[in-house]
Amino acid sequence: MMSLISGEQAAQFRELGYFVAEGGFAPALLQAMSDEMDRVYQDHLRQAQASGDAAAVQAVRNRRSFSQFHTLSPVAAQFARQPIYLEACLKFIGPDADLYYNQAATKPPERGRVFSWHQDSGYVHTEPLEYITCWTAITDSNLDNGCIWIIPGSPKWGLLEHLPEPETGERYGGKTAQFSDESGAIPVEMRAGQVAIFSSLMLHKSGANTSAHSIRRGYVPQYHVPHLIARHTGQPWGDQVPVLRGGRRVD
């Protein structure tokens, strides 16, 4: 199988903590994932509307992000085993790897919210700590529609303190990394089908979708070693779905 990750990209990952690769996805597969994101959203919206709970309806409309997406979509369950991801696992995790977490993240047009600076490892401290995030552009992701930003090299800063922040009209709720200098930040604009692969210690955020018509759709699978635990409980953590064993794909 032809490699999708070059030696230069692997070296950049080890030096700066990230690189952007061509995912090698067929256009029909990207469309299928886009359709699945819309389907799951509409399913949840219909359920909320059927409940008659106006707050629940508004919560779904504001949410547009669905975790453990592999359990909601058989398309996503297979998508999470695409060759680009398995090759990244083999290169940066090892011959045995699990799907740790995955989500579908949609930013509709004219929604002014940002997602604050954070490290993915800042949410749950796992043992071992570091893993890989594969932020995949299902549709074009750019400055206008809320692409991600990163600070190259920031994984070398180690795990930063994170404090929870409430959701507001300008910001999605989450944890925010505590640091003072974001002068090295760069936007990561991607065409549909490209993948930003980065360390879970990479500082990143996403901007607001200020466009009039462009929907930003991203699929974000993360991969880790098997049998990992959460430090705060000492118990198994994450999706723990095997994708590689002995360097071979697991279905």
In 3D space, the residue among 126, 128, 132 whose CA is nearest the CA of residue 89 turns out to be 132
Q: Is residue 173 part of a domain?
A: yes
What angle do the packed helices 27-51 and 54-63 form, to 10 degrees? 160
Q: Is residue 50 part of a domain?
A: no
Mean pLDDT, the chain, rounded, equals 94
Q: Is residue 49 part of a domain?
A: no
Q: Is residue 241 part of a domain?
A: yes
> Which H or E element spans position 137?
strand 132-137
Which of 12-21, 55-64, 122-131 is predicted with the least confidence, judged by mean pLDDT?
Answer: 55-64
- pLDDT value at 178 more than 70: yes
- pLDDT value at 71 more than 70: yes
Residue entry with tokens 């680009």: 84
Q: Is residue 89 part of a domain?
A: yes
Which amino acid belongs to residue 50? A
Q: Is residue 56 part of a domain?
A: no
Which amino acid belongs to residue 185? A
What's the CATH number where 157 sits?
2.60.120.620
Q: Is residue 176 part of a domain?
A: yes
Kindly give the pairing relationship between strand 216-224 and strand 162-165: unpaired
pLDDT average, residue stretch 59-67:
80
User: How many domains would you assign to the chain?
Assistant: 1
Q: Is residue 43 part of a domain?
A: no
For the stretch 28-42, pLDDT in tens is 999 999 999 999 999
Backbone torsions φ then ψ of 204, nearest 5 degrees: -150, 160
d(CA 219, CA 55): 27
d(CA 117, CA 203): 6
Backbone torsions φ then ψ of 27, nearest 5 degrees: -55, -35
Domain that holds residue 117: 9-28+65-249
pTM over 0.85: yes
